[in-house]
Amino acid sequence: SDACGLKKGDRVIVMLPRIPEWWSITVGCMRTGIIYIPATTQLTANDIFYRLQASKAKCIITNDTLAPVVDSVVSKCQFLKIRLMVSEGSRDGWLDFKELLKAAHSNHNPVKTKSQEAMTIYFTSGTTGYPKMVEHSHSSFGIGMTSTGRFWLDLNPSDILWGLSDPGWVKFAFSCFFSPWIQGACIFTHSMLQFEATTVLNCLSRFPITSFCGTPTVYRMLAQHDITSYKFKSLKHCLSGGEPLNPEVMEKWKSKTGMDIYEGYAQTETVLICSVCKGMKIKPGAMGKASPPYDVQVIDENANILPPGKEGDIAIRIKPTRPFCLFSHYVDDPEKTAASERGDFYITGDRGIVDEDGYFWFIGRADDVILSSGYRIGPFEVENALMEHPAIAEAAVVSSPDPIRGEVVKAFVILSPDFASHDPEKLTKELQEHVKKMTAPYKYPRKLRIKVFIGKLEIRTRIYHSCL
Ligand SMILES: *[C@@H]1O[C@H](CO)[C@@H](O)[C@H](O)[C@H]1NC(C)=O
């Protein structure tokens, strides 16, 4: 940090792929009190410009491929003073990480930071407006991910965890950084840029990976392959997070591998909110029970706690004491911060119910719930019904405006390869009938778009919801 001219409290955008330097740089930031802001390498020049200006970051760290993209906006960025490149080559106006590292002292005294001081900021996109900046303190991830590592990931020092995520997303902090670090476990990582099912399957059989964490999409894509021909010799714990897990995917995985999938539910603003841990009964379709130290409840619009079985807003108690592992606030946005609270609770923005056993069931994002002819329809349930059909590899359900019903259910589906040549019109009718049978008839997708499976799919969460 001295060589760069950075000091405690300065903000740095770290936009790097999964390379070892990502970890050394962020640990370096923690030790020097510099606030690091992870960014995905998929950002465009406009996205980078927005993030540099909004965060007032003094420095950006990236690689040689992305450096020219940064340079295309640098003249408009009055806060950006330092550009640092992790690469083999050099570039005008950029500091060279490898050179700086060579020249650095081997001794370093970390600065003193308070537990509630800012450690990192994540940009997170909502369904509307610009991305918000979510600030987390040193204790938030540093201590708050203890229960994630110990109970949900079930890690000990002999484990090797492979979490499939990009450093720009908070899921990476869960499954590739803090939780395994706290537990003294080893992590496995792979530099693949795009998800490739055969690469993943080969790694799981070649290397002694004991624990694997992916999104439901990952499991779906893997289940498309002939998994039974692979032997996962060390794998013993499979985890899913990032979006709700469909019961159908779980069944498929179990029938092919003999292993269950343990679901975890979290947000950029939180650490783990709910999870299914080893030893707990698995209820397919449920996100598990509240994860310590959170007190999670389903509440109504007046912040009253609802009884089991009643749909409401999934919320975390923040009074009298805000949990140390909840985000501190939205940076420079007290209004958004205030809007995320209701009575004694932080509102996740997700709708759900809790059952008699304390298991939480996801219904949909509050913003995503479809209001059709006075009916409230949760997209997740319709997606699950579609997924049960053999023709469907992927399904995303959204609201679509309608002059008569206000909104109607619209589904985007990707077909399994075997169904690629089926008549789309006939298939649409069949899928609609199928959903009517699987759930209440009023929930069937009146609009349906079919795409043929293309073999490769980027690892992403429910981005398609905001693509409409
Ligand atoms: C820099 O990162 C991008 C995004 O992950 C990647 O496509 C590119 O190959 C990297 N460049 C180098 C030189 O490693």
pLDDT one-digit tens code per residue, 313-351: 999 999 999 999 999 999 999 999 999 999 999 999 999
Going by alpha carbons, the residue nearest to atom 4 of ligand 1 is 41
pLDDT above 60 for 31: yes
**190-227 burial by CB neighbour count: b if 16+ within 10 A, else e?**
eeeeebebeebbebbbebebbbbbbbbbbbbbbbbeeb
Evaluate: CB of 41 within 6 angstroms of ligand 1: yes
Going by alpha carbons, the residue nearest to atom 8 of ligand 1 is 65
Total Cβ atoms within 10 A of residue 468: 11
pLDDT above 70 for 463: no
pLDDT above 90 for 376: no
Evaluate: CB of 64 within 6 angstroms of ligand 1: yes
Going by alpha carbons, the residue nearest to atom 9 of ligand 1 is 65
Atom nearest to 193 CA in ligand 1 = 5
pLDDT above 80 for 127: no
Dig out the tokens for 1 from the structure.
């940090």
- Provide the pLDDT for residue 217: 80
* All residues at 6 or more sequence positions from 78 whose CB lies less than 8 Å from its CB, including other chains: none
Q: How confident is the model over 32-45, as a mean pLDDT? A: 93
Evaluate: CB of 193 within 6 angstroms of ligand 1: yes
Which secondary-structure segment (H or E) carries 361? strand 360-365
- Provide the pLDDT for residue 465: 29
Q: How confident is the model over 218-241, as a mean pLDDT? A: 91
* All residues at 6 or more sequence positions from 321 whose CB lies less than 8 Å from its CB, including other chains: none
Evaluate: CB of 42 within 6 angstroms of ligand 1: no
pLDDT over 70, % of the chain: 95
Evaluate: CB of 168 within 6 angstroms of ligand 1: no
* pTM as predicted: 0.86
Alpha-carbon distance of 178 to 31, in angstroms, equals: 15
Cα of 45 vs centre of ligand 1, distance in Å, is 15
Evaluate: CB of 205 within 6 angstroms of ligand 1: no
Going by alpha carbons, the residue nearest to atom 11 of ligand 1 is 65
Dig out the tokens for 252 from the structure.
């498929």
pLDDT above 80 for 181: yes
Atom nearest to 41 CA in ligand 1 = 4
Cα of 41 vs centre of ligand 1, distance in Å, is 8
Domains of the chain: 11-113 (3.40.50.980), 137-365 (3.40.50.12780), 369-465 (3.30.300.30)
